Chains A and B, each alone.
Chain A
Amino acid sequence: MSTTSDDQPEPPDGPVWTGEHLLGLEDLTAEEITAILDQAAEFKSRSLESNKKLDLLDGIVVANLFFEPSTRTRTSFSLAAKRLSADTIDFSSSGSSLSKGETFIDTARNIEAMGASLVVVRHRSPGAPHQLARHINASVVNAGDGTHEHPTQALLDLFTIREKRGSLEGLTVTLVGDILHSRVARSNIWGLKKLGARVIVCGPSTLIPPRIEELGVEVAHRLDDVLGETDCVNLLRIQFERQRGAFFPSIREYTHFYGMNAKRLKAARPDVMILAPGPINRGVELTQEVADGPHSVILDQVTNGLAVRMACLYMLQRCRAVGGSR
């Protein structure tokens, strides 16, 4: 592996993203999302596929504050920062402010005092990154806030679909499972709709939040009813840890209606794409053969996640540099 410093990325032509924070896809325009995806594509070919480390964030400190357990997202952000030559601080703690005696804002201020200018935050409470953004000067990246948004996950889902299909325009994407508790669903809905896809949310009626149709999505309760018109299936994980009570009678019954298996795959379109944000519950949302089969892009999503997170960190820092010290 070598470090390249000779060429800065091409000056962007067309729309760019100049956000101060990345809090959710609700806040971004289609052009801004496209700008991030384009940047991610460039990083994928310039860095990930050619195994090159870039020095674009040399001297910058990126803090990963994970107030909720996470393996995949945390390591992805950490590696994305390192591939851009940033220094990283990883802070993990589960539980709320109350259980620790220090508020999460104080924790973030402490980390910021160590020089972090980009703060990646995962928190179990919706809005926690937004609160943080009001209290610190660093740029905040939402790495998942409770059941609200998970913008980088949606961006990598969009990237993966766009990479395989060229465009999102006119595709039908079905989000399956626990829509109520899913931040991935909310971010996906914003991103997919903005890029011109048709979105169906499919799950048991107890896990579909009220008035979701007003976001411009269609609601289905039987996967078999909508599989035939679906280009991409995104299988959301059942969020056992967020559910307060019994939202469906049993895992067996859930799998019976919503599990993606070989039989359902046969009924689907021949080129159907299977996505899952992970971690996956094998045997619940999808079977082994589907997860590891030719339609699955689950591992592409992981690679693309790295590229997307590199793009987000780089573009936020570039915006800070242009805007002067905030």
Chain B
Amino acid sequence: MSRCLIRGGRVIDPASGLDAVGDVWLCDGAIVAGPLEGDLDDELDAAGKIVCPGLIETQATLQEPGWDDDETIASGTAAAVAGGVTSVACLPETQPVVDNRAAVEFIRQQAERAGACHVFPLGAVTKNRDGQELAEIGQLVEGGAVALSDGKRPVANAEVMRRALEYARMFGRRIFHHSQVPELVAGGVMHEGLYSTLLGLGGMPAEAEEIMVARDVALAEMTGGSLHLMTISTAASVDILRRAKQRGVDVTGSVTPHHLVLTDAELQSFDANCKVDPPLRSSEHVEALVEGLVDGTIDVICSDHRPVPAEEKDLELDVAPFGIVGLETLLPLCVRALIDSERLDWPSLIALLTSGPARVLGVEAGSLAEGCVADVIVIDPDAEWTIDPAKFRSRCSNSPFAGWQVRGRVETVFVDGQRIFSVESVETVEDDG
């Protein structure tokens, strides 16, 4: 028997509606009702801290197999844990693509070898993510794929998308879609607006996303399939999602923290670390995203972790790859965008990072209810620190947040009841005195 007690923290568990000071008991990898008899293997004083379920990432790119110089399942999950993320759903943007059962099982096996946190593979919607023929979705599901996605490549063909939604429904799996009309963003680097005009950079209009969001919602409604809109970024997308939910369409949506704390004005620095897909939008879109989080339209905040090595981000802005390495800055950016601005309270924010993602992925995680898997984190909500990408556990440091003073820090992480990360154990605490 392995017993652990996290004592006296503010325990927040959105899945069971709990927000109270108390103890959390872990025993043999599960949450149990305390108190337990006998010796404790681990004990932690969490007074003044928040104790909540481990965070769940819905779309990380872990680069393995294929680009393991940039990230591996081991380095990506180590980064996840350091950010308080105890479950990572990974996109099939690998080489070879996770479009067959063997590839799914390889990912699960590598995750087990890494032993850091839970990894939930997403399988491809179409073979080789080409958007033409359906992948063997049933086999992918049997191999352990929790949902289906072609990653950042939209399924442009509406007929293929229709069949994917219909077919995946048979297996109870959701289609995660990067909703974007490819021809409207061709050659695009940033949001189309005042700043793209100023900078002469190729524009990606908001409508490229909104047209596809509307198509996808219509197809989900038509087929009764389950749809997840990955990282929406515009006001109209939020509005379409809101109205679709009111009609009862099975559709969910996510946003990233960088779309909440940055705008397209950042591109004036020509810093490729601000080049993301979907692009950073103008401030009116950012406000609409926050409103979508406040009224519950948006289900999930995800880091959209995409490691890109420095030598590729140092290329010309129009050829540098898209992406921000995000797992280790997920929580403090959310605190800045939503808690510091008093738009959300802690239980609502934690829901967007735990129970929301668990529901969208359809996985058993993200709760502190008795019998649930003992993935628990302790957050110091007031700890102030400086983001230093050089200290990231990810193999890449493509972050526009270097040097940002942030608040809110994951201090301790338990996965399956085992303490696997403590902030004291790494040289990341402010040492500038």
Q: What is A's interface to B at a CB cutoff of 8 Å?
A: 26, 96-98, 103-105, 123-128, 130-131, 135, 145-149, 183, 186, 209-212, 214-215, 244
Check A211 against B187 for contact (C-beta < 8 Å): no
- Min CB distance, B432 to chain A, in Å? 24
- Min CB distance, B199 to chain A, in Å? 6
Seed contacts A125-B319, A127-B317, A131-B270; 18 additional CB < 8 Å A-B pairs: A96-B316, A97-B319, A103-B315, A104-B316, A125-B316, A126-B189, A126-B199, A126-B200, A126-B317, A127-B199, A127-B270, A147-B201, A148-B201, A183-B200, A186-B200, A209-B196, A210-B192, A215-B197
From 195 to 252 in chain B, residues with beta carbon under 8 angstroms from any chain A beta carbon are 196-201, 203
| 30 A-B pairs (CB sep. < 8 Å) | A97-B316, A98-B315, A103-B314, A103-B315, A104-B316, A124-B316, A125-B317, A125-B319, A126-B189, A126-B199, A126-B270, A127-B317, A128-B316, A128-B317, A130-B270, A131-B314, A131-B316, A131-B317, A135-B314, A146-B201, A148-B200, A148-B201, A186-B200, A210-B192, A210-B193, A210-B194, A211-B194, A211-B197, A214-B194, A215-B197
Q: What's the interface size class on B, roughly? A: 20 to 34
The docked-state distance in angstroms from the alpha carbon of A183 to that of B198 is 10
**Interface on chain B toward A: helix, strand, loop, or mixed SS?**
loop
Contact of B316 among A26, A123, A209, A244 (CB under 8 A): A123
A105 contacts across to B, CB distance below 8 A: 314
- Min CB distance, A173 to chain B, in Å? 19
The docked-state distance in angstroms from the alpha carbon of A98 to that of B320 is 10
Q: What is B's interface to A at a CB cutoff of 8 Å?
A: 186-187, 189, 192-194, 196-201, 203, 269-270, 311, 314-319
A146 contacts across to B, CB distance below 8 A: 200-201, 318
- Min CB distance, A103 to chain B, in Å? 6
- Min CB distance, A241 to chain B, in Å? 13
A97 contacts across to B, CB distance below 8 A: 315-316, 319
B201 contacts across to A, CB distance below 8 A: 126-127, 146-148
B200 contacts across to A, CB distance below 8 A: 126, 145-149, 183, 186
Quick one: given A97-B319, A146-B200, A186-B200, are A244 and B187 in contact (CB under 8 Å)? Answer: yes
- Min CB distance, B395 to chain A, in Å? 20
Most buried by B among A26, A124, A210: A210
Quick one: given A125-B318, A128-B316, are A210 and B187 in contact (CB under 8 Å)? Answer: no
Question: Which 3 A-B pairs have CB atoms at the shortest separation, nearest pair first?
Answer: A127-B270, A125-B316, A148-B200
- Min CB distance, B313 to chain A, in Å? 10
- Min CB distance, B182 to chain A, in Å? 13
Check A98 against B319 for contact (C-beta < 8 Å): yes
The docked-state distance in angstroms from the alpha carbon of A209 to that of B203 is 10
Most buried by A among B187, B193, B311, B316: B316
The docked-state distance in angstroms from the alpha carbon of A209 to that of B186 is 16
Check A211 against B319 for contact (C-beta < 8 Å): no
B311 contacts across to A, CB distance below 8 A: 103
B316 contacts across to A, CB distance below 8 A: 96-97, 104, 123-125, 127-128, 131
A104 contacts across to B, CB distance below 8 A: 316
- Min CB distance, B181 to chain A, in Å? 14
Quick one: given A149-B200, A212-B197, are A244 and B317 in contact (CB under 8 Å)? Answer: no
Check A148 against B197 for contact (C-beta < 8 Å): no
The docked-state distance in angstroms from the alpha carbon of A1 to that of B196 is 47
Check A210 against B197 for contact (C-beta < 8 Å): yes
Contact of B199 among A103, A123, A148, A214 (CB under 8 A): A148
B186 contacts across to A, CB distance below 8 A: 244
The docked-state distance in angstroms from the alpha carbon of A98 to that of B193 is 28
The docked-state distance in angstroms from the alpha carbon of A131 to that of B194 is 21
B272 closest partner in A (C-beta): A131
A125 contacts across to B, CB distance below 8 A: 316-319
Quick one: given A97-B316, A98-B315, A131-B270, are A26 and B197 in contact (CB under 8 Å)? Answer: no
